Amino acid sequence: EDTHQLLSIHFPRDPDRFQSRLLRTLPPIPFGQRYHAHPFLSPDRKRVVYTELVDGFSQVCALDVADLVDLDEYWI
Can you tell me the distance from the alpha carbon of 9 to that of 18, in angstroms, rounded to the nearest whole number? 7
Q: What is the pTM for the complete model shown?
A: 0.62
Question: Which H/E stretch holds residue 62?
Answer: strand 57-64
Within a 10 A sphere around the Cβ of 5, how many other Cβ atoms? 11
Beta-bridged to residue 47, according to DSSP, are: 64
Per residue in 20-51, pLDDT (tens digit) is: 999 888 777 666 665 566 788 889 888 888 88
